[in-house]
Chains A and B, each alone.
Chain A
Amino acid sequence: MPGFRGWGQGDAMSTTMTDFEPGAGALGDPPADAAVSARGLVKRYGDLTAVDGIDFDVRRGTCLGVLGPNGAGKTTTIEMLEGIKRADDGEIVVLGMRWGKDDRAIQERIGVQLQETEFQDKLSVHETLRLFASFFENSAPLDEIIEIIGLEEKRTAFVKTLSGGQKQRLSIGCALLNNPDVLFLDEPTTGLDPQARRRVWDVVETFKAGGGSVLLTTHYMEEAERLADDLIIVDHGKVIARGSPASIIASLGAESVVQFSMVDAAVDAIEEAHLLALEGVNAVRVEGSSMVLSVTGTQGVISGLFALVDERGLDLEDLRTHRPTLEDVFVALTGKHLRDG
């Protein structure tokens, strides 16, 4: 784990956490417009507590993103909401109904895309959709669904001839067949190239535009930023931040992130204390061979940085600045990257 000071490691943790933590704690009663709500969800596997008291609401017509690294408990959480796994503790309400009591009625009104479903190789797109459509009392016309997921030309092609992105869209198509009120998407674009990913996002946005609610898990911050109206960031089975993507990023209190490394010099050739002393630097952390600064007033910081580098006769290399992202928030909160797993 990279060293991290000023953003709350060790002793400083308790104070700094509250500084920009956008309300990660428990929620009160579900709001009236919640399509899905969860309170105090817990799931244990033996000694391991995979989900440790998670609360959230999906407001009708919006998308709630559950962002977190692999192993954070995202899939376990969404599968409890889908009725696949039973929660050890906590309460789940889906469209005003509860699992264990109204299973059939819930299933008629939700759409589910699971991680890693492999459809049968030698069924065509149309046959696969027709099979799933037969399970519902009311289903949308298949050709309409095929159009939404953009597989018109693959209508009669076997599943095994589809690309990864096309398979994923077929999977979402199966989830849309019953005109669901809520769509559950578990890492819908993992493993897809950027173009295929955007096509999946288009399908989800079309669904949302029609008034549908979405619960989405992802470990891609771009995906969360693009699709989610509300976000919870989870790690080790707990919610560590919640709010809109913009408010979560704003909670970092940084205008910009400055990253640099130096030619032929150790990463600590400039002491952290000196960097922190620069006007506008809020936090410093080491990441591989780079230093990462969280700053307000980028220009001033960079001038100061040049002065420090000149003083020591060093050469800057690979100087970059970017707007803070959810990734920066996640690193700030946990000291690790989303992709680290």
Chain B
Amino acid sequence: MASLNQLKELTRVRLYGFWREPEAMFWVFLFPLVLAGVLGFAFRSGGVVPTTIGVVNGPQAAAMSEVLALDEHLEEERFETREEAYIKLRRGAVDALFESIDPPEISMDPTRPDSEMARMRVLRALALSAGAEDAPLEIDEVTEKGSRYVDFLFPGLLGMNLMGTGMWGVGFAIADIRRRKFLKRMLVTPMSRGYFFMSFILSRLVFLLFELLILTSFGAWVLGVPFRGDILSYLIVSFTGAILFAGMGLLVASRAKTIEGVSGIMNFVMMPMWLASGVFFSYERFPEFLHPAIKALPLTSLNDALRAVMIDGETVFQQGLEMGIMAAWTVVCFVIALKIFRWG
């Protein structure tokens, strides 16, 4: 009967292996904070982006200036020649060129959203100058907590971090001890292989608590991301994600003999999820027919469940589909990994 002391020692060694590597600590704890900080501040509600309209000096220039002044979000840039103005338009330094006021005419690139915005604003300015009261459409500015970009981003970064630390933490560690023949050395002792694998899960869970504590505090206090769901749901979703990606890390490293080999597979597996699973932008932007495939990715489920719990205040019981997908991935990864695991 293998003693529990074994599990304790194995887990302790795993934790030391992590704790004592400054690089690992940076990638787990500091990097996501830096990323969340930079992206969060970059996309903080920075007011309305103004539109720049080019005007070429000429007989109508003064009249055009007057019209443009009617909309506070329109900025005018004067040019001496039309050629000069065109170069700026092509480079995107001005969003449209106000060609003439009678008949009203502008030049713009219809494929650029900023130009489309310029067209609307110029139309509105023309309507105002013609005596209209104001645009008929009422606009509510949405900058409340929970619907800003950083609120969308934060749960995604958390999910991405759970994926990264789970896969690297387990996959890299296993490839490393295999390369060192340390794994082989343990194999010739009566070590319990079950405890060996459990030590990876346990050490992951210990680290997860620190990750959650640090990242969540930063999100809540520095970025002001709301936490509307209950703590228990939040913990259950995070734990499930952490174990899932620990299993995936185990699978990726189950046969690899070198660190390089593991890194390659790891990036190959994680890259599609970084892009598609709604970390930085919603996967709704991908074509409709891809959505089922994207939703089947483990990180998509984790991100969706984290967002639902954190931002929308739902409970874990409302995340049946997501939790189911994650559970399925977890089982598949562990079963295959344990079956094909290479000790020597």
Q: Does A119 contact B (CB under 8 A)?
A: yes
Query: Pick the contact of B181 from A83, A108, A118, A136 — CB < 8 Å?
Result: A118
Contact with B along A111-142 (1 / 0, CB 8 A): 01010111110110001001110111100000
Chain A hits for B185, CB < 8 A: 112, 114, 117, 174
Which residues of B1-58 have CB atoms within 8 Å of chain A's CB atoms? Answer: 3, 5-6, 8-10, 12-13, 16-17, 20-21
Q: Does B184 contact A (CB under 8 A)?
A: yes
From B140-148, B188-196, B241-249, the one touching the partner chain is: B188-196
Q: Are B188 and A112 in contact (CB under 8 A)?
A: yes
Shortest beta-carbon distance from A194 to chain B in Å: 26
A242 to B317, CA, bound (A): 72
Which residues of B158-181 have CB atoms within 8 Å of chain A's CB atoms? Answer: 177, 180-181
Chain B: CB-nearest residue to A104? B190
Q: Does A84 contact B (CB under 8 A)?
A: yes
- Tell whether A116 pairs with B344 under 8 Å between CB atoms, given A104-B190, A122-B16, A122-B21: no
Query: Pick the contact of A123 from B13, B184, B192 — CB < 8 Å?
Result: B13
Which residues of A215-248 have CB atoms within 8 Å of chain B's CB atoms? Answer: none
Query: Pick the contact of A118 from B20, B182, B190, B191 — CB < 8 Å?
Result: B182
A112 to B21, CA, bound (A): 29
Query: Pick the contact of A117 from B8, B21, B184 — CB < 8 Å?
Result: B184
Chain A hits for B10, CB < 8 A: 131, 134
Contact with A along B286-299 (1 / 0, CB 8 A): 00000000000000
A120 to B186, CA, bound (A): 12
Contact with B along A38-68 (1 / 0, CB 8 A): 0000000000000000000000000000000
**Band of interface residues on B:** 20 to 34
Q: Does A107 contact B (CB under 8 A)?
A: yes
Query: Pick the contact of A107 from B16, B20, B190 — CB < 8 Å?
Result: B190
Q: Are B188 and A83 in contact (CB under 8 A)?
A: yes
A119 to B3, CA, bound (A): 23
Chain A hits for B190, CB < 8 A: 104, 107-108, 135-137
Q: Are A119 and B180 in contact (CB under 8 A)?
A: yes
Q: Are A84 and B344 in contact (CB under 8 A)?
A: yes
Contact with A along B122-137 (1 / 0, CB 8 A): 0000000000000000
Q: Does A181 contact B (CB under 8 A)?
A: no
Q: Does A82 contact B (CB under 8 A)?
A: yes
Q: Are B188 and A107 in contact (CB under 8 A)?
A: yes
Chain B hits for A119, CB < 8 A: 180, 182
Most buried by B among A104, A120, A122, A132: A120
Query: Pick the contact of A122 from B17, B180, B191 — CB < 8 Å?
Result: B17
Q: Are B189 and A132 in contact (CB under 8 A)?
A: yes
A139 to B48, CA, bound (A): 71
Chain A hits for B5, CB < 8 A: 134
Q: Does B120 contact A (CB under 8 A)?
A: no
Shortest beta-carbon distance from B195 to chain A in Å: 9
Q: Are B8 and A114 in contact (CB under 8 A)?
A: no
Chain A hits for B332, CB < 8 A: none
Query: Pick the contact of B191 from A84, A116, A120, A135 — CB < 8 Å?
Result: A135
Chain A hits for B192, CB < 8 A: 135
- How many residue pairs between the two chains, A and B, have CB atoms under 8 Å in the bound complex? 68
Query: Pick the contact of A114 from B6, B16, B184 — CB < 8 Å?
Result: B184
Q: Are B188 and A84 in contact (CB under 8 A)?
A: yes
Shortest beta-carbon distance from A40 to chain B in Å: 23
Q: Are A107 and B184 in contact (CB under 8 A)?
A: no
Q: Does B270 contact A (CB under 8 A)?
A: no
Chain A hits for B186, CB < 8 A: 132, 135
Q: Are B3 and A134 in contact (CB under 8 A)?
A: yes
Shortest beta-carbon distance from B164 to chain A in Å: 21
Q: Are B181 and A131 in contact (CB under 8 A)?
A: no
Shortest beta-carbon distance from B229 to chain A in Å: 38
Q: Does B187 contact A (CB under 8 A)?
A: yes
Q: Are B6 and A122 in contact (CB under 8 A)?
A: no
Which residues of A75-133 have CB atoms within 8 Å of chain B's CB atoms? Answer: 82-84, 104, 107-108, 110, 112, 114, 116-120, 122-123, 127, 130-132
Contact with B along A306-341 (1 / 0, CB 8 A): 000000000000000000000000000000000000
Chain A hits for B6, CB < 8 A: 134-135
Chain A: CB-nearest residue to B186? A135
A130 to B21, CA, bound (A): 21
Q: Are A127 and B184 in contact (CB under 8 A)?
A: no
Chain A hits for B181, CB < 8 A: 114, 116-118
Chain B hits for A83, CB < 8 A: 188
Chain B hits for A104, CB < 8 A: 190
A82 to B186, CA, bound (A): 12
Shortest beta-carbon distance from A141 to chain B in Å: 15
Chain B hits for A174, CB < 8 A: 185
Q: Are B17 and A117 in contact (CB under 8 A)?
A: no
Chain A: CB-nearest residue to B8? A134
A114 to B184, CA, bound (A): 9
A residues lining the B interface (CB < 8 Å):
82-84, 104, 107-108, 110, 112, 114, 116-120, 122-123, 127, 130-132, 134-137, 174
> What are the 10 A-B residue pairs with the smallest beta carbon separation, nearest first?
A118-B180, A134-B9, A122-B20, A135-B189, A107-B190, A135-B191, A112-B188, A117-B185, A134-B6, A117-B181
B residues lining the A interface (CB < 8 Å):
3, 5-6, 8-10, 12-13, 16-17, 20-21, 177, 180-182, 184-192, 344
10 A-B pairs within 8 Å (CB atoms) are namely A84-B184, A107-B190, A108-B190, A117-B180, A117-B184, A117-B185, A120-B177, A131-B10, A134-B8, A135-B186
Q: With A118-B182, A123-B16 given, can you name 18 additional A-B contacts, CB distance below 8 Å?
A: A83-B188, A84-B184, A84-B187, A84-B344, A104-B190, A108-B190, A117-B180, A120-B17, A122-B17, A122-B21, A123-B17, A127-B13, A134-B5, A134-B9, A135-B6, A135-B186, A135-B192, A174-B185
